[in-house]
Amino acid sequence: MLRITRSAITPTVIAITKYLLLAALGIMFAACQGTAPDDLLLDSLPTSLIFVKANDSNTLDNNFIGSGETSDLFMLSPISPNGQIKNLTADFTGNGGAVADPDISYDGTKVVFSMRKTNNDNFDIYELNLVGKPNLRRITTSPFDDCDPAYLPNGKLVYTSNQRNIRDEYERREVENLFTMEADGSNVQCISFNNSDDFDPFVLSDGRVAWTRWEHHGTQNRFPLFFTHPDGQSTFLLFGTHQGGSTLNFFHGRELPDRKIVAVMSNRVLVDRGPLVILNADATDDPPQSGNYTNITPNTPYDMDDDKKGYFKYPFPLPDGRLITSYSPNGPDDDYGLYTIGRDGQNLTLLYNDPSTHELDAVVVAPRFKPTVITEQIDRNDSTGVFVNQNVYFRQTRDGQVVPKPGEITSVMVVEGIPVPPNERNMEIGETSFERKRVLGVAPVYADGSFSIRVPANTAISFNTLDSLGRAVVIKRNWLYARPGEKVTNCTGCHGVRGQKSNPNPIALNQTPTNLVVPVNQREVIAFQNAIEPIIAKKCLPCHDGVSPAAALGLSLSRSTNFSVAYETLMNTSRNNKAMVNVNSVPFSRNSYLIDVLLGAGVRKTQGKKAHPDSANALTKDELRKFITWIDLGGQYR
């Protein structure tokens, strides 16, 4: 955010000034008196805030704005405890209407936001003039929810929408992804293909788009910040962690003038309240270390609710270096008002509060710096993309996964995440946290640890690196995708140290990428019902059925619940202190006793026992592959 000097006064700024002065004389409501300084102005020019007044503070994304929530868009002018407020959307939001996600145009003359006019409507994106006549303009008219708009420097808008009509992994919420469109709502393009939510986009000063990404791949459940170019290329982690378990999540990010990011930190799922933190967005540690960010409000818990503590939401930089933020002084569910606070976390001061509503998502109305325009690189004539990984042995060590030994990795399996359709229950899939997947294919890993693959564009994919027995060594648990014609060459490793090259001249870069672009009907689904039960029927039931099955391991294919007895038995049985099938602790097949038995490996090998079954019932290489892959994909039944 740039500070405007008198030399920057333009006719546009003068028009804004006239409008705000007139607005202050209109039909308004007096703000609650605080103790903030009265000089939150840009060199004495009147400025204002636009914010949302809501009857509920649970507004993380459109999934949380219920039909009973009402809200409107308000202006506080000037930014002062003595400022006046005006409802900008009162004429449009009758009968359960709601407003969210304001963003100000670069010249400071317009505000774009999402709104449903009644509780029976979808959210659409609207724009309102802040100079002259308001002239509300509806930009989107889709039958889906369009939210989170932000102005792009090329004149377009980036926003979120659930128009892909898929459901989140496990939670079964409608999924929002990132889209772009022209200012008139035309030329709609989806630019993110995560299988869970992407939300809260904001534009960085270098032209990239950053946002909070919900990573919900299997046992992972985290909310790091990601970035992408406005055409969806060069998508990568901006700040956060790949680490599983208890982790740090970041919500409501905004860029500061020094290019650091201010955000709300939480270590809980879908909880966007907590302390304010300032992030060094170029930090490479994973998970983030204490020096990578500064918690400026350490008295606010990030891991629990405490009615005796205050909680923050929606920070936004003020032109004088302070922050404006929503703050609830008496617990997470108390009344949120607008407060100012220094970047050092000092001088938290009430600016405005209406005790009957929550004041959220404030943004400054003023001309602002227009970021660099990043030229679109999409090849509309291509339907594929290429990934080159420099070195699978180059890894960070704090994500709970194995660091492979040199030469241990022979190939990489590329897996597609199948988006969850509407009305599918997670219990239909199996006793697993993982959703349905299918295999695109396997590519060789060269002697230097590099590989190169060509994959379908706009498709969520992940990797399993494999040893000589076909078992996964490292299982990547987030989704990647390439845009049409994109060639991604900056993958330094298999979760390598960010920002560091691992291999200056990878063999794979000079090889033809392994082509894994196959028709959908040829992509291999390896689930228990379709791939494993036929093998059990042919090779296992002669011994593992009836009232006295061998080794007391009954593998009947009759149904006990939603699944067969064999599936329930393998998913819930342990032998030699090791789960028969382990889909919770990576690497899965290596940690599964069933695979030790089938291969004569691990514990079985130390006991001097060979692969089982043997002789006439010995499994073929392809049957072994299916058992191993089924487990490494997550142990789905269907």
What's the pLDDT tens digit per position in 214-250? 998 888 889 999 999 999 999 999 998 755 445 789 9
What is the predicted pLDDT for the residue at 450? 97
Handedness of CA 274, 278, 280, 285 (dihedral sign): negative
Distance CA 467, CA 449 (A): 12
Q: Is residue 350's pLDDT more than 60?
A: yes
Give pLDDT, residue 305.
Answer: 87
Q: Which residues contact 83 (CB under 8 A, 6 or more apart)?
A: 24, 31, 48, 76, 77, 352
Average pLDDT, the chain: 89
List residues bridging with 515 in a β-sheet.
454
Kindly report the backbone phi and psi dihedral angles of residue 613, in degrees, each rounded to the nearest multiple of 5, phi listed first: -75, 165
Q: In what order do the strands lie in the sheet with 337-341?
A: 311-317, 323-328, 337-341, 349-352
Distance between CA atoms of 332 and 135, rounded to whole angstroms?
A: 37
Contact residues for 78 (Cβ-Cβ < 8 A; gap 6+): 20, 24, 40, 41, 46, 47, 48
Tell how far CA 590 is from the center of its chain.
29
Q: Write the Ramachandran bin of 14: left for phi over 0, alpha for psi from -120 to 50, otherwise beta.
A: alpha
Q: Is the pLDDT of residue 290 over 60?
A: yes
133 HSE (CA, 13 A, CB side): 3
- pTM of the predicted model as reported, rounded to 2 decimal places: 0.91
Calculate the alpha carbon distances from 522 to 517, 519, 525 in Å.
10, 5, 9
Position 194 scores a pLDDT of 97
Q: Which amino acid is at 212?
A: T
Q: How confident is the model at residue 602 (pLDDT cuts 50, 70, 90)?
A: confident
pLDDT, position 283: 64
Categorize the per-residue pLDDT at 103 as very low, low, confident or very high, splitting at 50, 70 and 90: very high
Lowest mean pLDDT among 166-170, 280-284, 626-630: 280-284
335 pLDDT higher than 90: yes
Please tell me what DSSP assigns to residue 421: P
182 contacts 174 by C-beta, under 8 angstroms: no
**Does the structure show a pLDDT above 50 at 282?**
yes
Higher pLDDT, 548 or 292: 548
Confidence of residue 495 (pLDDT cuts 50, 70, 90): low
Residue-wise DSSP of 553-564: -----SBSSSSB
535, pLDDT greater than 80: yes
Q: Is the pLDDT of residue 569 over 60?
A: yes
Give Cα 48 distance to the centre of its chain.
32
Predicted confidence at residue 60, as pLDDT, reads 66
Strand order in the sheet with 110-116: 98-104, 110-116, 124-129, 137-138
DSSP run (H or E) holding 294: strand 293-295
Q: 163 by DSSP, 3-state: which?
A: coil
Q: Contact, 565 vs 556, CB < 8 A?
A: yes
Instruction: Please report which residue ranges of 152-226 form alpha helices under DSSP H.
Output: none
| Burial of 418 per CB tally in 10 Å (0-12, 13-18, 19+) | middle
- Per-residue model confidence as pLDDT tens digits over 150-197: 999 999 999 999 999 999 887 788 999 999 999 999 999 999 999 999
pLDDT, tens digit, 9 for 90 and up, residues 24-63: 333 333 344 455 554 444 443 348 999 999 998 877 655 5
Give the 3-state DSSP-derived string for 189-219, with helices as H, strands as E and coil as C. Answer: EECCCCCCCEEEEEECCCCCEEEEECECCCC
Q: Are strands 71-77 and 84-87 parallel, antiparallel or unpaired?
A: antiparallel
Say if CB 414 and CB 303 are below 8 A apart. Answer: no
Q: What is the pLDDT of residue 90?
A: 95
Q: What is the pLDDT of residue 125?
A: 98
Range of weakest confidence among 66-75, 123-132, 222-231, 470-479 = 66-75
Which domains occur in the chain, in start order? 6-365 (2.120.10.30), 384-522 (2.60.40), 528-633 (no CATH)
User: Please, which pLDDT band fits residue 292 given cuts at 50, 70 and 90?
Assistant: confident
Residue 87: pLDDT band by 50, 70, 90 thresholds?
Answer: very high
Least Cα distance to 289 among 584, 562, 497 occurs for 497
Q: How far apart are CA 15 and CA 49, in angstroms?
A: 16
Structure-model confidence comparison of residues 173 and 258, the more confident one: 258
**pLDDT for residue 286 is more than 70:** no
| Rounded CA separation 178/190 (Å) | 6
Q: What number is the average pLDDT over the span 378-405?
A: 90
Strand partners, 87: 74
Q: How confident is the model at residue 552 (pLDDT cuts 50, 70, 90)?
A: very high
